[in-house]
Amino acid sequence: MAIIDTLPAVSVSVRLKKAYRDADEYPDPYPYHEHERYMDDYEQCARNYIESKEGTEFAVHVNVLDDATIDPWIHHDEGLVFLLFLDGHFMGKRFCYDDDFKHGGWHFAFKGKRHPNQDRTAMVESNFKFQTITAVDQDATDGEWRRAKDLGTIEVRVRLARFAGGPRRNRWVNLERPFREPEYNKCEISEEAIKGRPIYHGTSFTPPVNKSLRPPRFAHRAAIERIRTGPLFATYTFKYRSRDALKIEEILHQTPSPEPAPAPFFRQKPAYLGNSSLPRFEDLHEDEVERLARERHQQLQDEQAQSSAQKNKRSYDDFCDFTDGADEQLARPYKIIKLGNGHDAIDLTGGY
C-alpha cells in the first residue's frame, strides 16, 4: 500500500480480485510534473508502478486511521475528500469526516461505477477491470491525445473539504436525452496516440449487474449537506502495466537465472526431463506460486476429509475374532471331582 511519510495515517492501495492482498508496488523512478499547486506549496505524493493482468477486476482501497496526526485536517465540519481518476477520467469521490469513523478508522473501496439503466428505472453496477488496448488504425483526435496522456494511470487526489451548510443541490438530469450506455469489455484508442509507448492495458468495465434499490439504513451527512472543496492536499498515483511492459520500462529487471551446479553422476537428471517445456519453480511468478499452493492445500484437505470418512465407516472386515490365537494360548486348568453316584464331574466353582 502507498503511504506518504508526512501523512502516515492515510494509505491507498490497489487490490486485484481473488488476489487476497494488495498489488505489489514498485517505486516510479521517472520525473514528472504536477500541473496543480499543492496546499501551501508543500508537495505530498506517492508514485508507484503495479502489475496489471488482462481481464482482472480491481478495486482501489482507501484507509484512514483515527490517529492524532490527522486531527488538524479532520475535525468538526472539516475533512478530506478522495477523488478517483482512471486513465484521466473522474470515477467518483468520497468524503471522510469526523463522524464517519468506526472501530478506530475509516475505509472505503472504489470498485466500479453506478449508472441508470436504459429505462432509468433502476441502477446498475459495473466493476473496474484491466483490458487489453485495441489500437485502431485511424487519425488521433484531440480527445484521444489527451486520453493517451493519462492512459494506464490510477490516481487518487486528496483535497481539503468541509461542510458548507444547507442542503445539497441535486443536479438537473435530462431524462429525455438519448441514453449512452458505457462500453464494456472494450478499450480502443488510435494507434497514432500511443505510438512508441509500452502501454498494453487500459481500464474497462464488467457487464452491468442490476442492483435492487433499498432505502438506506441511515442518511449520511455527506449525502445531504453541501460540501465545499479546498486545495490539493496529496496525490497517490499508480501506473499499471503488463509484466512485459514493466520489463520494457526497466521497472522489473530481467536478470539471467544462475546456471545450475552440475549434479553427481548417480543423481544425473533423466534425459526426458531435459526437454521438458514446464518452467522451473524458481521462474514462476509469485501469483502462480500462490495459486499452486492453494490448490495443494485444498487437495490435502480433501484427502484428510476422505481418510476420516473411511475410518468412521464400518465394513464386513471390521469385527473381533475371539478365536484368533486360541491355539497359542494355554487352556484354563479345571478340576475333576467324583460324585456320590460314581460319575465324574467338572468343578466350576473355582474354589481350588
Q: 208-261, pLDDT tens digit by residue?
A: 888 776 665 556 676 667 888 999 999 999 999 988 889 888 888 744 444 444
Instruction: Kindly state the cell numbers that stand for 86.
Output: 482512471
Nearest Cα to Cα of residue 239 among 210, 290, 201 = 201
For 7, half-sphere exposure in the C-beta direction (CA atoms, 13 angstrom radius) is 22
* Strand partners for 335: 347
Cell numbers 484521466 correspond to what residue? 88
H helices present in the chain, as ranges: 142-149, 243-248, 271-274, 286-312
Output the CA–CA distances (angstroms, integers) from residue 85 to 47, 49, 122, 187, 238, in the order listed.
Answer: 14, 16, 25, 16, 11
User: How far is 203 from 213, CA to CA, in rounded Å?
Assistant: 27
Q: What is the pLDDT of residue 195?
A: 74
Cell numbers 442518511 correspond to what residue? 219
Amino acid type, 111: K
Q: What is the pLDDT of residue 51?
A: 92
Q: What is the pLDDT of residue 74?
A: 92
Q: How far is CA 60 from the centre of its chain?
A: 10
Q: What is the pLDDT of residue 260?
A: 44
Which residues of the chain are modeled with pLDDT < 70? 166-186, 196, 213-220, 222-224, 254-287, 310-334, 350-352
Residue 346 CB partners (closer than 8 Å, separation 6+): 334, 335, 336, 337
> Is 190 in a helix, a strand, or coil?
strand
In 26-98, DSSP assigns E strands to: 26-27, 45-51, 58-65, 78-86, 89-96
pTM, entire model: 0.67
Nearest Cα to Cα of residue 69 among 82, 80, 61, 55 = 80
